[in-house]
Amino acid sequence: MAIGLPLISVIIPTYNRAPFVCEAIDSVFSQTFTDYEIIVVDDGSTDSTKEVLEKYQDKIKYIYQENSGVSAARNAGIKNSTGSWLAFLDSDDKWMPQYLSTQVEWVRRFPDICMQTTDCYCCRTASEENKRTYFEMNRVIKEFKRQDYLLLTDPFRFVVMHGPWQVGSTIFYRDAIKKAGLFDTNLGLNEDFDLMARMALQGPFGVIRNALVVMYRRNETIACLTSQVKTHPIQARELYEKIYEKLRSIETLKGLEREAVSRLMGMNRRAIGNLLLMTGSVDEARESYRQAFFIDRSLRSLGKYFLSFFPTNINQWIIEKRQ
């Protein structure tokens, strides 16, 4: 670990993850790069989290707060950190040993970047085979072609169109994240995307092809953000829309940047229409398609609107076929 001020502050928010949090912390201690500090923010856990962390004693900074949500916990970590760079790790995930050293290696090559991310594996258990990477899910993998690294000097449109993103595989320059405004504590979903979109307006963005993080989607007693998307998809999409509206209202956006957000809003509104149609809410679905067209005058939105006048079973068949 670092002596004096560290280069990187590792911030680990946790809530009732006593069975997993030590594995996350140990993955930081296993890093080949050692100039860091670890800050664990306990967001009001009611299990044995505090007790299991006692073995680390002065090796970590432990902060306890009343339950306020993951964004508030991450912000508390930022405010109590001293590193020039900030790295976030969820308490049920883990880093591969070369994660920080790879991040720092590329930062030293491109010192002007404000944010840098790696690919990561998504799985339910440690033994799960055929792990899918996040860059495969958000289509970033196609952008590399034969390269191992992408340097994006004007990254906002790229970040917007390739979301969602994971802060658990991303490092942030301290000064830039303060200018961007930290995590929005009013959001209960997709706060990673919101922050990274705002960060993309602060300077260059580096993207590393290597998958160096393992992110677990476990079956837990506490509801996770991913499960909210599955159990309440329309409500989740409506929350996404609020985030997009917030981004589109940023006064400094350039014309093409604003168009990128509008395009994303149109796609999201069409997705809401599809969900409504699948539940048999035809009139609401048609209105959603109409709104999508006026947000972003896409032929696809217009086509969806006219198709909504066809028999519902035909539209449902088309939607299922394309999923």
Q: pLDDT by residue (tens digit) across 101-114? A: 999 999 999 999 99
| Distance in angstroms (rounded) separating the CA atoms of residues 125 and 145 | 30
Angstrom CA distances, 29 to 25, 55, 83, 100, 172, stand at 7, 13, 17, 11, 20
Average pLDDT of span 30-45: 98
In this predicted structure, which of 145-154, 186-195, 219-228, 266-275 has the lowest mean pLDDT? 219-228
Task: Report the predicted TM-score, pTM, of the whole model to 2 decimal places.
Answer: 0.90
The percent of residues above 70 in pLDDT, for the chain, comes to 92
Q: Which residue has the higher pLDDT, 25 or 223?
A: 25
pLDDT at residue 320, as a whole number: 76
Do 260 and 157 contact (CB within 8 A), yes or no? yes
Task: Dump pLDDT digits (tens) for 64-76.
Answer: 999 999 999 999 9
| Distance in angstroms (rounded) separating the CA atoms of residues 206 and 80 | 26
Task: Dump pLDDT digits (tens) for 239-287.
Answer: 999 999 999 999 999 999 999 999 999 999 999 999 998 999 999 999 9
Please check the confidence at residue 313 and state whether its pLDDT lies above 90: no
pLDDT at residue 206, as a whole number: 98
pLDDT at residue 32, as a whole number: 98
pLDDT at residue 229, as a whole number: 64
| Kind plus residue range of the DSSP H or E element containing 222 | none
pLDDT at residue 222, as a whole number: 46
Sign of CA dihedral 184, 189, 191, 193: negative
Residues of the chain with CATH 3.90.550.10: 8-219
Residues 6+ apart with CB under 8 A from 138: 162, 163, 164, 165
pLDDT at residue 188, as a whole number: 83
Top CATH class, 8-219: alpha beta
Task: Dump pLDDT digits (tens) for 128-183.
Answer: 655 789 999 899 999 999 899 999 999 999 999 998 899 999 999 999 999 999 99
pLDDT at residue 221, as a whole number: 45
| Distance in angstroms (rounded) separating the CA atoms of residues 279 and 185 | 32
In this predicted structure, which of 34-43, 273-282, 314-323 has the lowest mean pLDDT? 314-323
pLDDT at residue 226, as a whole number: 53
| Distance in angstroms (rounded) separating the CA atoms of residues 198 and 241 | 16
Provide the mean pLDDT of the chain: 91
Please check the confidence at residue 228 and state whether its pLDDT lies above 60: no
Nearest to 153 by CA among 116, 100, 194, 206: 206
